[in-house]
């Protein structure tokens, strides 16, 4: 019998599939709880957990592959036929009604509901009510498997529209915060304490042919003193000290990248590009930024918008139901 070696891509696919099969809520919650209980014995507890929760499942998959068994009963039946039936029934009862099914409700209750109840003495009653409602929904959808995709589509699509709007707002906010790093303001303004940002053109004395400090020119403009007037500063356009990096360019480019990639219409893309260019030009016209400030801001916005777009599409591939065959062909 010839054996075929898997490519790196196939190995990664198999590894990802096994990870998706075995990783669940318990794998995320229990190790943390185990580490807290173990205290100084964290390393022995970790070794034991890896052997039982990682090693044994991997050995089970390897055993099925090595023996070319087509299922659990066939694998266990190699001991004896009776043992194969007994072990299969015992295992399905364990991962079903005796352990895993109740855990689905208890884990959801413990992580989502119990923290809001406080030190209530009737927690068992709340768990009973929650479990009844939880499994009522499970039974309702299980008895109507053909309509699950339709219902999910009706619920998921509005949720994703809301999620997309939230991501757009997050992209705008994140772009503005990242731009504030270089100006020393905003929530992330303290990340680069040694960075010296460039003053805005309206507060750059060399552009006016003056040999004074930028602070002095800034005070003059706010107090209404006369200046040579070489730099055009419209009335009411005075703003903060620094212009590196342009927050307007960052936010509008992030919005352009995120929205144009999802709303794939030429007229929309054209309008967004035109609006982006107009907003960027206005920052130069108002003496708010140098062109380099706009380019740096555009780079920040492009990276932020791309990251939010990747997150949106990644979550969409996981949560959205697959299209029916007819609609997939049309798409």
> What pLDDT was estimated at residue 262?
82
Distance from C-alpha of 176 to C-alpha of 305, rounded to nearest angstrom: 12
Q: What is the pLDDT of residues 120-149, one digit of tens each?
A: 677 888 888 988 998 898 888 778 766 666
- The fraction of the chain above a pLDDT of 70, given in percent, is 88
212 versus 150: the higher-pLDDT residue is 212
Q: Tell me: cis bond preceding 245? Omega within 30 of 0 counts.
A: yes
Residue 156 has pLDDT above 60, yes or no: yes
Q: What is the mean predicted confidence (pLDDT) over 276-296?
A: 90
Distance from C-alpha of 49 to C-alpha of 139, rounded to nearest angstrom: 33
Q: What is the mean predicted confidence (pLDDT) over 10-19?
A: 79
Contacts of 268 (CB under 8 A, 6+ apart): 259, 260
Q: Picking from 63-72, 234-243, 286-295, which range would have the lowest pLDDT averaged per residue?
A: 234-243
> What pLDDT was estimated at residue 152?
60
Q: What is the pLDDT of residues 20-29, one digit of tens each?
A: 777 765 677 7
Per-domain residue ranges of the chain: 26-149, 156-198+242-330
Q: What is the mean predicted confidence (pLDDT) over 199-226?
A: 86
> What pLDDT was estimated at residue 157?
64
Q: What is the mean predicted confidence (pLDDT) over 238-255?
A: 86
Residue 331 — very low, low, confident or very high, per pLDDT cuts 50/70/90? very low
Looking at every residue in the chain, the average pLDDT score rounds to: 81
Distance from C-alpha of 179 to C-alpha of 249, rounded to nearest angstrom: 9
Residue 273 has pLDDT above 90, yes or no: yes
Which CA distances in Å does 44 have to 38, 49, 51, 168?
A: 9, 9, 11, 46
> What pLDDT was estimated at residue 16?
76
pTM strictly above 0.75: no
């Amino acid at each position: 019998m010839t054996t075929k070696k898997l490519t790196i891509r196939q190995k990664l696919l198999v590894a990802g599939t096994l990870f998706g099969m075995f990783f669940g809520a318990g794998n995320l919650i229990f190790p943390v709880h185990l580490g807290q209980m173990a205290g100084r014995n964290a390393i022995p507890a970790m070794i034991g957990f890896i052997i039982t929760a990682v090693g044994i499942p991997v050995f089970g998959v390897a055993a099925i592959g090595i023996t070319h068994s087509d299922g659990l009963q066939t694998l266990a039946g190699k001991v004896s036929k009776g043992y194969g039936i007994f072990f299969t029934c015992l295992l399905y009862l364990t991962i079903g009604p005796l352990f895993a099914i109740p855990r689905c409700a208890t884990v959801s209750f413990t992580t989502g509901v119990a923290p809001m109840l406080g030190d209530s003495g009737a927690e068992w009653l709340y768990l009973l009510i929650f479990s009844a409602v939880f499994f009522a929904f499970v039974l309702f959808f299980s008895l109507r498997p053909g309509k699950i995709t339709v219902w999910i589509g009706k619920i998921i699509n509005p949720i994703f529209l809301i999620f997309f709007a939230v991501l757009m707002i997050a992209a705008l906010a994140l772009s503005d915060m990242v731009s504030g790093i270089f100006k020393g303001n905003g929530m992330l303004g303290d990340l680069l304490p040694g960075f010296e940002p460039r003053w805005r053109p309206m507060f750059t004395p060399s552009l006016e042919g003056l040999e004074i400090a930028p602070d002095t020119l800034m005070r003059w403009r706010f107090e209404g003193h006369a200046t040579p007037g070489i730099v055009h500063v419209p009335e009411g356009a005075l703003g903060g000290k620094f212009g590196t990096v342009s927050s307007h360019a960052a936010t509008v480019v992030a919005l352009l990248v995120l929205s144009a990639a999802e709303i794939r219409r030429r007229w929309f893309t054209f309008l967004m590009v035109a609006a982006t260019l107009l907003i960027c030009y206005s920052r130069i016209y108002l003496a708010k930024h140098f062109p380099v400030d706009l380019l740096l801001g555009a780079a920040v916005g492009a990276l932020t918008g791309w990251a939010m777009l990747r997150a949106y599409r990644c979550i969409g591939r996981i949560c959205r139901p697959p299209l029916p065959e007819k609609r997939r062909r049309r798409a």
